[in-house]
Amino acid sequence: MSQKTTPIVHTAGLCKVFRDFWRRPKVAAVKDLNMEIRPGQIFGLLGPNGSGKSTTIKMLLGLLYPSRGRIAVFGKAPTDVSVKNRIGFLPEESYLYRFLDARETLDYYGRLFRLPERVRTHRTEKLLDMVGLRHEARRRIGEYSKGMARRIGLAQALINDPEFLILDEPTSGLDPIGTRQIKDVIRELGRMGKTILLSSHVLADVEDVCDEISILYGGQQRAAGDIKDLLSKTELTQITTEKLSEETIEHIRDLLTRLEKKDIVSVGAPRHRLEDFFIQVVQESHRANIATSGVRAVGEMPDFLGERTRSLVQSLVEAGRRRDVAAPTGGEVVEPAPIVETPRRAVVEELLASAKEDRRAPEAQEDSPPPAEGPRRAPVEADRAVIDGLLKGSGGGDHSP
Ligand SMILES: Nc1ncnc2c1ncn2[C@@H]1O[C@H](COP(=O)(O)OP(=O)(O)OP(=O)(O)O)[C@@H](O)[C@H]1O
Ligand SMILES: [Mg+2]
């Protein structure tokens, strides 16, 4: 299986300096950032306030020009129209029209991506279900609580079934149930093969969903890598068993001293996480039919998301099986390669590489906006300009190179 695929994001020596009115350097927001996000990764961008996370995201979206360094998204300049069509974005600040209701909002964004009406309606209903807002869909966004607006923001970011999803503080303002639901959605999207960049201050959320992280401080990357490697305490060993008696624990202590000349560091019962306990209490309240005007239980993942990825996974698995059957070596008994158990990332990397060649599957042709080339280029670019305008309204400022 070829492992060499174009990264979804690649930056090299990326810098952003904001300048004052006289073009004197005012703030060095991002300094010499080297970052790579590979297909299928859920990547966490962390750092204290003002450390450059949103500025980095805006550069990835082509909303800000870098002052120095290189940046490529899907191997192209972030300003490339074809790149923008493959990205979904949830900005850190709400940017939705207060006077539209949730359905109108999703329909509006579907129109910007030039989705046909049938597709828009289908996706809108599925996404409303997914974020648990179908019952509140006729209310104006301006009336929504912060968490409800965040949910619609996430639905909006998914309307074009993007391959790369950028989420700036996706759980901000959400209650613990909403937070859990959004994390489940993110994990599910990851399983579908989507690539996700997540910026958040809620470290537990990042720990729960991300494969890899980067920690910024003062615009500089201070730590980066696989989250398991970064967090595992390799100098300790943990064994979890059913509850043991004091006597057995003493035996184990003796054994450890005898065999390893080591002592037990701690003994105790692991605790439930507060998130799990809280969700259990709320689910019981829901089952008891206690009235609420808030968010209801969320529905399933929309079926349209990841259609292309799913069919590609299937074809790869089948191709892999055929390879196994067709290529025995010198009469040996060959163990079938663990195609189905292949780690998600490896499968997805290969898939996305081949998907690039095969991007316009029949369904995609119907669903996707027309290509940037040809006679329809101008309207598409006009629509993208509208989107960019909206996104800029969320806090992007400086556009100057
Ligand atoms: N348009 C702008 N003009 C001038 N300075 C800016 C602009 N946007 C961001 N900055 C500055 O760049 C630095 C990084 O800001 P950024 O918004 O990227 O931080 P962040 O990591 O997203 O912070 P937070 O966690 O608060 O969202 C800050 O000092 C900020 O004041
Ligand atoms: Mg920010």
Q: For residue 178, what are the contacts with CB-CB under 8 A and spacing of at least 6?
A: 147, 150, 151, 171, 295
Residue extents of the structural domains in the chain:
9-230+384-392
Ligand having the closest approach to the CA of 58: 1
* 15 DSSP β-pair partners: 68
Rounded percentage of the chain residues whose pLDDT exceeds 90: 39
**Which residue out of 17, 18, 202 has the highest number of ligand 1 atoms within 8 Å of its CB and is therefore the one to mutate?**
18
Indicate if ligand 1 lies below 6 Å from the C-beta of 397: yes
Separation CA 157–CA 298 (nearest Å): 17
DSSP label at 140?
A: B
Q: For all residues of the chain together, what is the average pLDDT? A: 77
Low-confidence winner among 83-87, 148-152, 362-366 (lowest mean pLDDT): 362-366
**What SS3 class is residue 84?**
helix
- Residue by residue, DSSP assigns 337-391 as P-TTTS-HHHHHHHHHHHHHHT---HHHHHHSPPPSSSTTHHHHHHHHHHHHHHH
Q: What is the pLDDT of residue 326?
A: 43
Separation CA 172–CA 146 (nearest Å): 8
Q: Is the pLDDT of residue 48 over 70?
A: yes
Tell me the pLDDT tens digit for each residue of 127-136.
Answer: 998 888 888 8
Q: For residue 107, what are the contacts with CB-CB under 8 A and spacing of at least 6?
A: 120, 121, 124
Tell me the pLDDT tens digit for each residue of 102-134.
Answer: 999 999 999 999 999 999 999 999 999 888 888
Q: Is the pLDDT of residue 338 over 70?
A: no
Could you identify the atom of ligand 1 that is nearest to the CA of residue 169? 27
In the structure, ligand 2 is a single-atom ion and the residues with CB under 5 Å from it are 53-54, 92
- Residue by residue, DSSP assigns 273-287 as PHHHHHHHHHHHHHH
**What SS3 class is residue 183?**
helix
Tell me the pLDDT tens digit for each residue of 381-392.
Answer: 434 444 444 444
Tell me the pLDDT tens digit for each residue of 223-245.
Answer: 899 988 888 888 889 889 999 99
Q: Hey, CA dihedral for 351, 353, 359, 361, is it positive or negative?
A: negative
Could you identify the atom of ligand 1 that is nearest to the CA of residue 16? 12
Q: What is the pLDDT of residue 172?
A: 85
Could you identify the atom of ligand 1 that is nearest to the CA of residue 51? 21
Check whether domain 9-230+384-392 has CATH 3.40.50.300, yes or no: yes
What residue owns the CA closest to ligand 1's atom 31? Answer: 50
Rounded percentage of the chain residues whose pLDDT exceeds 70: 71
Indicate if ligand 1 lies below 6 Å from the C-beta of 16: no
- Rounded to two decimals, what is the model's pTM? 0.69
Q: For residue 118, what are the contacts with CB-CB under 8 A and spacing of at least 6?
A: none
Query: In sequence order, what E strands does 20-127 have?
Result: 25-37, 42-46, 68-73, 87-90
What residue owns the CA closest to ligand 1's atom 26? Answer: 49
Indicate if ligand 1 lies below 6 Å from the C-beta of 55: yes
Mean pLDDT of 199-208: 88
Tell me the pLDDT tens digit for each residue of 155-183.
Answer: 999 999 999 999 999 988 888 888 888 88
Q: For residue 354, what are the contacts with CB-CB under 8 A and spacing of at least 6?
A: 312, 316
Indicate if ligand 1 lies below 6 Å from the C-beta of 29: yes
* 217 DSSP β-pair partners: 220
Query: Do the strands 164-168 and 195-199 form a parallel or antiparallel pair, or are they unpaired?
Result: parallel
